Amino acid sequence: MAPPKLFRVYSWNVNGIRAVTKKGFFDWLRKARADVVALQETRAHPEQLEPEVLRPKRWRSHWVSAERKGYSGVGMYSRKEPDEVAGSILGVPELDDEGRLQLMRFGALTIVNGYFPNGSGRDRDHSRVPYKLDFYRKLFDRLEAARASGERLLVLGDFNTAHREIDLARPKQNKKTSGFLDEEREELDRWLRSGWIDTYRERHGDREGEYTWWSQRFGVREKNIGWRIDMVLCSEAVRPFLLDARIHAKVMGSDHCPISVDLDPAVLEP
């Protein structure tokens, strides 16, 4: 558990919760000093999980699954019972049915865990880009009044978009790849222009060479040919409480690595 003067939140696309638990996930969790761990691409319904995965000792958990088994899904572990829990928060069946969002509130802090869609279709085309952009826009609209009124919000997870050229190793070669298309980057840029804060950039400026996802092709991760597509965005009201934002690139078990933010625990207080 995190020290008393720290509230630590992790985000990790685990690329299958059942797979990652066979690759040292719980060893990592015991050492992470986390208060909240948000997971994406869990690929499981709760009834498919072993009890020790569904609700580990000394943790609370909440799961949101896609209608289609073995696909998408998000989950959260928390040390304390949340004051509010919700899934399917967009109210649009075609967006909610893929189990990509959940909301948890701890005191004055609301955490939204998101597994944002990839724009690539089954044929590696861009057929899912309209769906992806609709997801971004509907979530933005869902949260905008709360953000604008000064609520403390985190939106974290796998955004499936690299925002700037410094956010991937090979930007020129990926101009026409989903995840770095102009329209995808512009939509993420709209969030930031509107007042959302990229916590990693807030703490580390234009630091380069730190990524959160690597292709599983041989040697790619070892050469650090990656993308920074996992992020924690915060509302302006959270900025005074932000202590650190980190990328944990050495943690293995998935094609993504965990990321985290450390917050002053006063962020939870009204």
Q: Is 250 inside any structural domain?
A: yes
pLDDT of residue 138: 98
* Placement of tokens 């997801």 in the chain: 135
Question: Does residue 69 fall inside a structural domain?
Answer: yes
Which residue range is the domain that position 116 belongs to?
7-268
Q: What CATH number is attached to the domain comprising 143?
A: 3.60.10.10
User: Does residue 152 lie within any of the structural domains?
Assistant: yes
Of 4-8, 121-125, 232-236, highest mean pLDDT: 232-236
Set 35, 96, 141, 158: catalytic member: 158
Q: How many domains does the chain have?
A: 1
Residue 206 lies in a domain: yes
Taking the model in full, what pTM does it have?
0.97
Over residues 2-23, the pLDDT tens digits come to: 445 899 999 999 999 999 999 9
* Active site (annotated) includes residue 158: yes
pLDDT in tens, 39-89: 999 999 999 999 999 999 999 999 999 999 999 999 999 999 999 999 989
What pLDDT does 3 receive? 47
| Per-residue confidence (pLDDT) for residue 123, from 0 to 100 | 78
pLDDT of residue 5: 84
- Residues 6+ positions from 14 with CB-CB distance below 8 Å: 20, 25, 39, 40, 41, 42, 253, 254, 256
- Report, as an integer, the average pLDDT of 153-177: 98
So what's the pLDDT on residue 240?
A: 98
Sheet with 60-64: strands ordered across:
60-64, 74-78, 36-40, 7-13, 259-263, 242-247
pLDDT of residue 1: 52
The answer to whether position 2 is within a domain reads no
| Mean pLDDT, residues 231-240 taken together | 98
